[in-house]
Structures are given as structure tokens and as C-alpha cells.
Structure 1
Amino acid sequence: MKALQQEYNKALSGMQGRDILVIGDMVADIYLDGRISRISREAPVLVLEQAGEKVVAGGAANVVNNIATLGGKVHAVGLVGSDKSADGLRAILAKNGADVRGLIADDSRPTISKTRIIAGGRATVSQQIVRIDRESKAPMAPAVEAELRAYIKSILPTVEGVVISDYGSGTVTEGLQSLLIDYCQIKGIPSIVDSRYAVRRFHGIGYVKQNDAEIAAAMGRNLDTTEDIVAAAEELRQELAAKGVLVTRGELGMVLVEHGAVHEIPVSDKSEVFDVSGAGDTCVAAVILALAAGVAPATAARLSNIASGIAVRKLGTSTVSVRELAEAIEKSREEYTSK
């Protein structure tokens, strides 16, 4: 166990300052907190007095945030509107040191946002009562795509890793996808895609991250056992000509399938799970930083498993810091040696 901890600590040190590009659907998660005042006379609904508003980085922006807090140098690339949500996202990411020059504003569309209305009172537990989503379904304008392409080309010479975070909102066009995947292949730069609905389009990507439900949907069949998941992951790996497929399985841990190798990774911490929101983003952030540092894929996956275990014990989409990850590594060693 001591040797493994040394390997983790060496990887964590190597991850610091790695230059990563993240392209994808940047989402503003907005939380409106309301205190229950009374029942409306207009309809049988609650009247809430707004008590607070918070904007949190979601979607690809949460990957950016996690890379920044884990010590990476990260460039956020994506579409936003000219609105308050965009201002909030830029402020959140820039506060953690992310480069936000690649967040291109398109006046014709809003920033993708998910507004959650939270209701509570002095004698009641606060809970979400409704979510309002806002995004444009229109294809990206050619002029905007050209601006994104120009920015990507300008920073690619410094980049050591690429993340494509595709939530299905149209930021990752085929043209931008090809530009990034081709560049990574030519330069030998690690890349990873996390695609909610269309992972099979990313041929030539280095690594693929899916959860068990996503890969089952992608392959069009139920995956009831570990053997089923391994078979599906290998099928997907071969189809995309990828180096590896990482499947997250909640309380069952992770499975990394490489050419000729399968790594089953149990959960790192079985303490209470508060919220799985954004844990996949933390996983991707840790994996790409480790790969950029030259860490073996299996070690990168195990390290990301520890980082994800921290994230699920926090409420809402959240980030994991270098200090938290280092402490979790030390804790896992202490628990192992005490047995």
C-alpha cells in the first residue's frame, strides 16, 4: 500500500500546472432559494419570498472548475450568451484561475442554464420544487464556429490534454471535433470524451468516459453484469479506435477497459453519499490531468475514483481541491494499515 500511495502522490505532483483545453456545453446551474410565505389566492401554489440566489458551474464548466482546483492550467472553450448567467460563469471560473477567453458570446442565444427553485421554511426542510431549463436549439452560427476554431488553434501549441464534454447542446460541432481529435493524434496528446447521448460519433478519441446507463443506451442493450459492461466497453473501444473506455458504476466503482487489459476499481470510500451531481466531471478532470502528467491509465482511473468519492459527499455540483485529494490518499493508506 505504501508503494501505491507513493505512486498516487507522485501522480498528484505531476498533475500540477498541466495545460488542459476543455470544450463543451457550458452550463450555469442557478439556485433560487425561497422561504415559504403563504398559499397564493390566485392558485393553490406556494408563495415564496426570495432569500438568495447562487450560480454554480455546471456541464463542461464543472470540468473546467475541477481541473482548476486540482491544480491544472485550464482553458474553457464554449458558447455563452450576453447575459447575467454568462457573467456568473466567467466570474466563477476566473476566480479559480481558469482562462475564460474561449467562452465566446453569441448575442442570438442565451447561456445554457438550469434554474432550480428551492423552497423551505423555519419548520420544513428546503427542497427543490421545480427546475427551469433554458437553451437555444438552433445550430451554431458559422461565424461563431469560426471564432471558436480560431481561438482553439491559437492555444493548441501549449495544450497537454483535451477534454470534450458533450451534453448534447450542440457546442461540439463535427468540425471542431475533427480539429481537436486530429491534432491530439498527430501530437500524441491525451484526449477524453464524456458524451451523454452521442459517444459513438467520437472516432479516434483517446479515452472515453461513460456511466453504466449511458454506455447501455449507446450500445442499445441492457448491461446487467460486470461481464456485460466489459464486453460493451471493449466493443465501443474497438469501434472508436480508442485507447481505453472508463465506465463509472456508482456504488460498484469503475471499470477501465484497455486493449488487452481490464481494471476493476472498487469505490474508494463507502461512507454516506450525499449527491452524485457532477461526480463524473470530477472523474474526467482527474483522469485528463493524470494522463497529461504521463501517469499510467489504470493509476489515473484509480486516482479519479478517489477524487469522485470526495465529490459525491458534497451537495450539488462541486469541486475537489489538491489538498482534499492528498488527504483522501493519506486516509486510504491509514485505513489500509489499520486493518
Structure 2
Amino acid sequence: MFQNLQQLVDGLQNKEIMIIGDMVADVYLEGRISRISREAPVLILEHAGETVVPGGAANAVHNAAALGGKVYAVGVIGDDNAGQLLTQVLNSKTVNTEGFITDAARPTVTKTRVMAGGQATVRQQVVRIDRETKQPLSSDVEQRLLNYIKENIRRMDAVVVSDYGSFTVSPSVRKTVIELCESAGIPSMVDSRYNVMDYEGIRLVKQNESEAANALGSSVLNKNSLIEAGKTILERLKAEGVLITQGPEGMTLFERSGAITHIPVTNKSEVYDVTGAGDTVVVTMMLALAAGASYQEAACLANFAAGVVVRKPGTATTSPAELKQAIGDHIL
């Protein structure tokens, strides 16, 4: 099976995938510790640089592009510097950002991390500043979003909804995407942080343990309740598959056929940072399905992809070559 997975990696190339969701600009402000302020007991940092990294749904977009997918990013950005920089970064990765709707009335969702360190000290995050509007989309912006989706979604090989709770995926957007994918026979998957139970009719669902627990009103899942959670989400959403990721314990795939497959992690010893690994899992699985994989094959390939990115700091991606190498190392 693992050799089949290596061959499957080639099939991911140029598959058309639409990723709809909350596009986030992760901004890293770098500073060198200079001294303690006289005004207050705080560090003074000398500005050393600024980097914008795709976050939220934009991280899923970045991951799909790195794997060779032909990516159509759909979301809302502000008429601001963060939105422009995020668009430029994704365009440089050959992502199609024509689906970015600019809304001058709301800022681009931005998470700014102030990072400090010196020559002999470890680089650390000092503070994070979040900027977003906690209001639903205006009717005009929502309609522009819907128009783009309706005009382009039917030619996709796969569709992902990446819902981080920042209001891009309105009830109308959610309903439209599910109905269009179902009528066109396009595989669709949702990764929703807060309201996955609103996605009845979606074909596939990805949740981590805590998200699945929250969705069902629980505080934590053990081995037995995880099985029940997977079955319950599958049944209530009338989905074909539910994938619950479990950190160092791997992931478990629940299928409508009744099959339950647990996929252990490929290497526990080299985990560096799990940030954004869920986005990697989702897009790898969907590109694999677009390439003709079964649900189990797609989930196994996604597991290998996650195993690569967790060995890298921050929100990271994996390339086809790295993915093939990881599978090859496991075979050996």
C-alpha cells in the first residue's frame, strides 16, 4: 500500500481545488532585545524585520499549492496592507486569488506576533495582537462571494471549506457550497473550529479531538467516546467520512460503510510544532481523493504529510519530494 501512496503523490499535481474560508495574515514582527524601558518594566525591542505568513484558510491554500495543486482561494480580505501582502504571498505560490473579495469596511483577519530574541537567547513570542471584525458579512460582500463560487465551483476536482469562525462561511455560503458540490459530484470536506454540526450534507468532515468533543457538548474524548463521537458526527451530518485527528496518537477515519480505521503517527520522536498540521491533513486528503484514492489511502497519505510538517517550526508545508521521502523512509 505504501508504494501505491508514493505513486499517488504524482497524481496530486495540477488537480483543481477550491478552498473557501477565513483567510488570515499571520504577521511576525522580529525584534532584538535592546534594554529595559525607563518608563515601565518592559523590554525595548529594536525592529529587525517583518514577515507575513498565510494563516487560517490561507495556510490550507499554501499547503495545497506546495503539494502541486491548482488552487483557487476564496475569501474576504480588507482594503489594507495585510490583505495586499497576503495576496502577494499566495500569488507568488501560483495561487489563483481572483476569489478574494475586498471589503473596505472590515480589516483582513490579522494575527501579529511580536518575536524577541538576542544572539545568545532563544527567540520567543512576547505578545500576540489579533485584529478582526466580529460581525457577519454585509449582503453585498456575501453576494459577491456567492457569485464567484457559483461561477467557478463546478469545474473543481475537490472543494474544502476552512471555517475558523471569522464569518466568511455564512449560512448561505455553506448551503450553496454543499448543494453545488453534491449536484456536481465533487468531493467536499469541511474543517470547522466551532460549528461543524451546521454542515449537514457535506461529504467529508475533519475535526481534532477537542473540536469533536465540543461539537457534541463534551469536554474531552477517551478511546471509547472518540468512537461514539465519530459515529455520531457521521450520522448527524449524513457524511460519507469523518476524520478525527488525535495529535501524537494519530488519526481515526470513520466511513459510512461502518469501517473504522485508526492510522498511527509515522514518527513520534521528531515532533517540533503541530501548528497548522490540520490544514495539511485536509488538503492532502482532498487532493488524493481528486487523484482517485480511496478514503483510507487518502487519509494515510494525509497522515504522512502531517508527519512532515510537524517536524518544522510554525505553519509549514510539505513538498511532493518530501512526502515521497517520508513514505520511503517508513517502508525501509
Into which bin does the TM-score normalised by the smaller protein fall? over 0.9
Question: Once the two structures are aligned, what percentage of the paired residues are identical?
Answer: 50
Range that drifts further, 164-173 or 91-100: 91-100
Q: Distance in 1 between matches of 2:262 and 2:171?
A: 33
**Counterpart residue number, 1:337:** none
**Counterpart residue number, 1:212:** 209
Q: 2:96 aligns with which of 89, 92, 99?
A: 99
Q: Distance in 2 between matches of 1:148 and 1:217?
A: 29
CA shift for structure 1 position 138: 1.9
CA shift for structure 1 position 226: 2.3
Instruction: Work out whether 1:311 is the aligned partner of 2:312.
Output: no
Range that drifts further, 208-217 or 85-94: 85-94
**Counterpart residue number, 2:277:** 279
CA shift for structure 1 position 113: 0.5
The answer on whether the counterparts of 2:17 and 2:160 sit within 8 Å (CA) in structure 1 is: yes
**Counterpart residue number, 1:51:** 48
Instruction: Work out whether 1:245 is the aligned partner of 2:249.
Output: no
**Counterpart residue number, 1:87:** 84
Instruction: Work out whether 1:144 is the aligned partner of 2:138.
Output: no
**Counterpart residue number, 2:290:** 292
Superposed CA deviations along residues 158-179 of structure 1, whole A, max 9, x for unmatched, are 1111100000000001111111
Runs of 4+ in 1 over 4 A off after TM superposition: none
CA shift for structure 1 position 184: 1.1
CA shift for structure 1 position 222: 4.3
Q: 1:122 aligns with which of 100, 116, 119?
A: 119
**Counterpart residue number, 2:262:** 264
Q: 1:40 aligns with which of 34, 37, 40?
A: 37
Q: Distance in 2 between matches of 1:171 and 1:37?
A: 41
**Counterpart residue number, 1:191:** 188
In the superposition, the TM-score normalised over structure 1's length comes to 0.96
Q: 2:222 aligns with which of 204, 216, 225?
A: 225
The answer on whether the counterparts of 2:209 and 2:221 sit within 8 Å (CA) in structure 1 is: no
The answer on whether the counterparts of 2:12 and 2:287 sit within 8 Å (CA) in structure 1 is: yes
Q: Distance in 2 between matches of 1:326 and 1:97?
A: 22
Report the residue type matching 2:287 in the other structure. L
Superposed CA deviations along residues 282-318 of structure 1, whole A, max 9, x for unmatched, are 0001011011122100110010000001010111111
Q: Distance in 1 between matches of 2:186 and 2:69?
A: 15
Q: RMSD value over aligned CA atoms?
A: 1.0
Report the residue type matching 1:92 in the other structure. V
Q: Distance in 1 between matches of 2:139 and 2:234?
A: 32
**Counterpart residue number, 1:332:** 330
CA shift for structure 1 position 279: 0.3
CA shift for structure 1 position 230: 1.3
CA shift for structure 1 position 223: 4.4
Report the residue type matching 1:287 in the other structure. M
**Counterpart residue number, 2:318:** 320
CA shift for structure 1 position 209: 0.3
Q: Distance in 1 between matches of 2:162 and 2:94?
A: 19
Q: Distance in 1 between matches of 2:285 and 2:301?
A: 8
CA shift for structure 1 position 156: 1.6
CA shift for structure 1 position 224: 3.9
Q: Distance in 2 between matches of 1:258 and 1:21?
A: 23
CA shift for structure 1 position 10: 2.8
Report the residue type matching 1:307 in the other structure. A
Q: Distance in 2 between matches of 1:177 and 1:293?
A: 25
Q: 2:75 aligns with which of 74, 78, 90?
A: 78
> Secondary structure of the residue that 1:200 maps to in structure 2?
helix
Report the residue type matching 2:11 in the other structure. G
Superposed CA deviations along residues 211-252 of structure 1, whole A, max 9, x for unmatched, are 001101111124443221111111011000000110000100
Q: Distance in 2 between matches of 1:6 and 1:313?
A: 23
Q: Distance in 1 between matches of 2:8 and 2:275?
A: 26
Superposed CA deviations along residues 29-74 of structure 1, whole A, max 9, x for unmatched, are 0001111111111111111001111100000000011111101111
In the superposition, the TM-score normalised over structure 2's length comes to 0.98
